[in-house]
Amino acid sequence: MTEAFSALPAGLLHSLSQMIPEYTLVGAFARDYRVHNVAGLPLVARTLDVDISILVTSLADYHERLKQLDGPHGVGIRFVVDGVQVDVIPYGPEVAPGGIVQTADGITLDVTGMAEAAESADIVEAGHATVRIPTLSSMIGLKVIAWNYRVASTRSDSRDLGPLLKATYHGPDGDALWSDGEAGGKWDYDNMLVGPYRAGKQLSGSWKEESLHRLRSILDTKLPTLATQVAQHDRPSVDLVVDQLKALREGLDVRPNA
């Protein structure tokens, strides 16, 4: 159980816990928790929407579990809970073969890594409720996956990825990197590279090989484009972001406990 997180309305969290047990908070509020509450960095962007993920065996199971909610609307995953728009993302090997789930006619999502993100999530206090929030490394992995799948329609994933990378060398993760002799020695103790590399190592130890393969493929083929888009938001140099993504990519190849 980690420190309290009060950004979400307590009433909404209570309602979600009652209606959808075992959900995982993803998206903007999970990003803000990792970047702002834990790492101590500025908030990225305000949003009124909430994104959560749930494990299901089929879309029929998904709709049965959510039948008490107001929805779905729009893209097939959008519901209204206590007046708040909530996207409920389904994942699971049966509903998303190959990591892709079809939520409505012509609408698909890449949910690669959602299962691992849920399994390794932290349990966080929020008012009188608790919520599961993915680790920082899982949030980075999920953002790379999301960016690759919907880059043509939104730049929000590249906007979010920059602060998440920065969080790898601030707060508790920043403190921890100095005791990682292997990572420090590899990158001459440049914290801006050691942090992303350690995130890659953590993903290597917590994500399944099929999901890691997807991440490696994206970074191997689209790294310059991703780095350019990340740099357009928070204004770091493109060269720095390229180096950070390369460090992340190298970390993905490190065997657990190495």
Quick one: pLDDT at residue 183?
95
Q: What is the pLDDT along the chain (258 residues), one digit of tens a residue?
A: 565 666 666 678 888 888 888 899 998 989 999 999 999 999 887 777 899 999 999 999 999 999 989 988 888 899 999 888 999 999 999 999 899 999 888 889 999 999 999 999 999 988 778 899 999 999 999 999 999 999 888 889 999 999 999 999 999 999 999 999 999 999 999 999 999 999 999 999 999 999 999 999 999 999 999 999 999 887 768 999 999 999 999 999 998 765
Provide the β-strand partners of residue 53.
Answer: 24, 89
On whether the CB atoms of residues 3 and 124 are closer than 8 A, the answer is yes
Direct distance between the N- and C-terminal alpha carbons of the chain, in angstroms, rounded to an integer = 27
Cα gap 60→106, rounded to integer Å: 18
CATH of 10-134, one of 3.90.550, 3.10.50, 2.40.128, 3.30.460: 3.30.460
Strand segments (E) across 76-214: 78-81, 84-91, 100-104, 107-110, 122-126, 129-133
On whether the CB atoms of residues 173 and 197 are closer than 8 A, the answer is no
Q: Which residues contact 74 (CB under 8 A, 6 or more apart)?
A: none
Every domain of the chain and the residues it spans: 10-134, 143-251
Provide the β-strand partners of residue 25.
Answer: 52
Look up residue 160 and give its amino acid.
Answer: D
Residue 128, both tokens? 């009188």
Cα gap 16→130, rounded to integer Å: 11
Q: Is 168 helix (H, G, I), strand (E, B) or coil?
A: coil
Pairing of strands 100-104, 107-110: antiparallel
Quick one: pLDDT at residue 8?
67
Cα gap 3→61, rounded to integer Å: 33
Count of CB atoms situated within 10 Å of the CB of 18: 10
